Amino acid sequence: MPTIALVILGIAGLAMTARILVGPSVADRIVAMDGLLVIVVSALVVDAARTGRIAFIDIAVVMGLLGFIGTGVAARFIERRGA
Amino acid sequence: MRARQAGLVAWLTLLWVVLWRDVTVANAASGLAAAIVVTSVFPRVGAAASGRPLRPYRLMTFFLYFHWKMLEANVVLAREILTPRDYTKSGILAVPMGRASDLLVTLVANSITLTPGTVTLEARGDPAVLYVHVLHLHDPERVRHDIAELQEYARRALGEDAALKEDH
Amino acid sequence: MLDAVSGAFLIAGAVWSLLAAVGVLKFDDVFSRMQAGTKATTLGVVLVVIGAVPRLDPATSVKLVLVVALIYLTIPVGAHLVGRATYHERGDARIRIDTVDELAGDPPPT
């Protein structure tokens, strides 16, 4: 069952990536990237549950903590150069 | 000052030890050191987070209310995503918050983003007003009422001293 | 039995994340996409964590709760920053406001 969840998350990740590619604005791409980050965190958790390899959860913690810094930087970028 | 922050330092040390998954003297010592360093480098955070009387009942109430609203928000969102018809009627609403402290404004603004049909766009300081993008703005007064309700639960969870803006 | 229930939560979380992605693709306005991208993916993580907790040891479960707490704190802040910046510097962003815009100074709706 975790494998099914991982496949579904993979599809979700691809769909989010589509928005990153299509845009049309920087803001759209950042919103999709932020969503992708959370999806990756979910995938890491599912994989840890599937394999018992819990080292990935440490990565998930760091991603949760630092991921939004990229979003913040992008927001500053938008303030200066427009979306 | 040190006494007020002792609780925070203890909590951080405990968290550190749990994260290392191994209760040893080395872990406890390094955790204590890390906690002290962090609270020293960020004294304002240390002061804000310590010395407050905990209100477990009120915190739990807010916690439950928040999660209930989060579920509700996601169900409404799911309907919007899955049905071909467009139910959205978006708008940006100004929600005054009265004499709310920075902590309360932050808590409510953050919570709004995860609860029904709304994302906080702007938070103006004095007097505190939140500008909220609403996905289904069919009844503005209802939205303002819901946010006021959220604010009330948050205010009670934080306690009077942490929730009201101090007069300078 | 617990295995089935926790597995159901894992799949539910994955499906909800897929829902989020569909929303981000389907909506035609930046702020709506933001709503889908933040709320739904967050619930996705919560469901997945609920599914993972029974399958892992207690110390790891603390880390999982920490992950959720960090997501609760960071995702809304990110959305706020991007939303605020995009509102003021629109650029190519597709923004659609059906009713009032009180941030722009519209009078409050009656």
pLDDT one digit per residue (tens) for chain B, 168 residues: 566 677 778 888 888 888 887 788 888 888 888 888 888 887 766 666 655 666 788 889 999 999 999 999 999 999 999 998 888 888 888 888 888 888 888 899 899 999 876 777 776 767 788 888 988 888 889 888 999 999 999 998 887 777 777 665
Q: Which two tokens stand for residue B82?
A: 């899955």
Report whether C55 contacts B140 (CB < 8 A): no
Give the per-residue pLDDT at B63: 94
Q: Which of A26, A35, A49 sits opposite C52 (nearest CB)?
A: A49
C14 contacts A24? CB cut-off 8 A: no
Per CB-CB distance under 8 Å, the chain B contacts of C34 are: 119
Give the per-residue pLDDT at B53: 66
Taking CA atoms, what residue in A is nearest to C93?
Answer: A25
Q: How distant is the Cα of C108 from the closest Cα of chain A, in angstroms?
A: 27
Note whether residue C107 is domain-resident: no
Give the per-residue pLDDT at C44: 97
Q: Which two tokens stand for residue B55?
A: 């209100």
In terms of residue numbers, what domain contains C21?
2-88
- CA C23 vs. chain centroid, Å, equals 11
CATH number (1.10.10, 1.10.150, 2.40.50, 1.10.287) of A2-81 reads: 1.10.287
The CA–CA distances, whole Å, from A57 to A2, A49, B155, C17 equal: 15, 10, 33, 18
Give the per-residue pLDDT at B60: 92
> Distance between CA atoms of B157 and B60, rounded to whole angstroms?
8
What's the complex ipTM?
0.92
C84 contacts B122? CB cut-off 8 A: yes
Per CB-CB distance under 8 Å, the chain C contacts of A33 are: none
Note whether residue C98 is domain-resident: no
> Distance between CA atoms of C52 and C45, rounded to whole angstroms?
10
Give the per-residue pLDDT at B137: 86
Taking alpha carbons only, the member of C44, C39, C3, A71 closest to residue B135 is: C39
Q: Where are the beta strands (DSSP E) in chain B?
A: 91-98, 118-124, 128-134
> Distance between CA atoms of C37 and C25, rounded to whole angstroms?
10
Q: Which of A12, A24, A49 sits opposite C17 (nearest CB)?
A: A12
The total of structural domains in chain C comes to: 1
Note whether residue C100 is domain-resident: no
The amino acid present at B90, given as its one-letter code, is S
Report whether B148 contacts B158 (CB < 8 A): no
> Distance between CA atoms of C37 and B67, rounded to whole angstroms?
18
Per CB-CB distance under 8 Å, the chain B contacts of C36 are: 77, 81
Q: Which of C25, C55, C91 sits opposite A26 (nearest CB)?
A: C91
Q: Which two tokens stand for residue A37?
A: 């980050």
B91 contacts C99? CB cut-off 8 A: yes
C73 contacts B110? CB cut-off 8 A: yes
pTM: 0.89
Give the per-residue pLDDT at B51: 55
Note whether residue C20 is domain-resident: yes
Q: How many beta-carbon pairs under 8 angstroms link A with C?
A: 203
Q: How distant is the Cα of A21 from the closest Cα of chain C, in angstroms?
A: 11
C42 contacts B140? CB cut-off 8 A: no
Per CB-CB distance under 8 Å, the chain A contacts of C34 are: 31
Residue B18 touches chain C, beta carbons under 8 Å: yes
> Distance between CA atoms of B1 and B22, rounded to whole angstroms?
31
Checking B78-82 for CB contacts under 8 A at 24+ apart, the result is B78/C16, B78/C19, B78/C40, B80/B135, B80/B136, B80/C23, B81/C19, B81/C22, B81/C23, B81/C26, B81/C36, B81/C40, B82/C19
pLDDT one digit per residue (tens) for chain A, 83 residues: 899 999 999 999 999 999 999 989 999 999 999 999 999 999 999 999 999 999 999 999 999 888 889 999 999 999 999 88
Q: Which two tokens stand for residue B80?
A: 């919007």
Domain residue spans of chain A: 2-81
Measured from the Cβ of residue B94, the count of other Cβ atoms closer than 10 Å reads: 19
Give the per-residue pLDDT at B3: 63
Taking CA atoms, what residue in A is nearest to C29?
Answer: A28
Give the per-residue pLDDT at C7: 95
Give the per-residue pLDDT at B117: 61
**Residues with pLDDT less than 50, chain C:** none
Give the per-residue pLDDT at B88: 83
